[in-house]
Amino acid sequence: MTANATAECWWFFTEGRFVFHTIRAVVSSSQLDVSACDGDGRWGGQRPTAQQQRRRQGLATLEVTGSDVPTLPAVAVQGEPRDLRGAAIARRRELAFAMSMGGSAMNFTIDGRKFDPARIDQTVKAGTVEEWTLANTSPMDHPLHLHVWPMQLVEENGQPLHQPTWQDVVNIPARGKVRIAFDFAGRTVYHCHILDHEDQGMIGVDARKNR
């Protein structure tokens, strides 16, 4: 999973004690570690050590007691979003995700601009399918989240995806590109899901118009 992404799981438990933990380190060298930043939020501190990289992180302990309940009814099959890979693409756009020094702090920008809630960054015709290439020119990953609507990931670093993959957060790797497709109507925002990146400007507004 990418930073701050969500997943929904179903579990069947028997009696006992269970611990959820990460299967490997929480910190990777391509992701922001707070302790690896100096006071100005600039990258420049320690990279995680090999020992830190190997360390598992406990997340939660769960104790299951009592007797078994009768078998639950099967979970209804969930509908999947429409596979957009063969859809007619109304428009293609490329968005640039960048970071730069601005005064005493970093600027995190999309297409060279910081967030302005009064500005609409992308205007799209409702009911059409668009394909966006998300290009990251910075040395850090930026997990992009589009509010409310799932994005279909269609290409990762030049390689097309052969399985339909929908995500609510798509990681744009450092100095890499991903391509997504989606269709929706309304007004929403897209932003980097790393809190201090979005707080420092990495948010855009997307509005769909019925014309």
The conformational region for residue 74 under phi > 0 = left, psi -120 to 50 = alpha, else beta, is: beta
| Residue 83 tokens, joined | 């596979």
User: What is the residue whose two structure tokens read 């990777």?
Assistant: 28
Stretch of 10-18, 34-42, 155-163, 189-197 contacting Cu ion, by CB under 5 A: 189-197
The reply to whether 172 sits near Cu ion by the rule CB under 5 A is: no
The reply to whether 106 sits near Cu ion by the rule CB under 5 A is: no
The reply to whether 192 sits near Cu ion by the rule CB under 5 A is: yes
The reply to whether 142 sits near Cu ion by the rule CB under 5 A is: yes
Q: Is 84 exposed, middle or buried (0-12, 13-18, 19+ CB in 10 A)?
A: buried
The reply to whether 191 sits near Cu ion by the rule CB under 5 A is: no
Q: Residue 44 CB, nearest distance to Cu ion (Å)? A: 17
The reply to whether 134 sits near Cu ion by the rule CB under 5 A is: no
Total number of residues binding Cu ion (CB under 5 A)? Answer: 4
Residues 6+ away with beta carbon under 8 Å from 62: 13, 17, 18, 19, 20
> Do 25 and 53 contact (CB within 8 A), yes or no?
yes
The reply to whether 194 sits near Cu ion by the rule CB under 5 A is: yes
Stretch of 33-41, 55-63, 136-144, 162-170 contacting Cu ion, by CB under 5 A: 136-144
Neighbouring-strand partners of residue 20: 60
Nearer to Cu ion, 145 or 208 (CB): 145
Q: φ, ψ for residue 129 (rounded to 5)?
A: -105, 130
Q: Residue 60 CB, nearest distance to Cu ion (Å)? A: 27
- Residues lying near Cu ion in the complex (CB under 5 A) are found at 142, 192, 194, 197
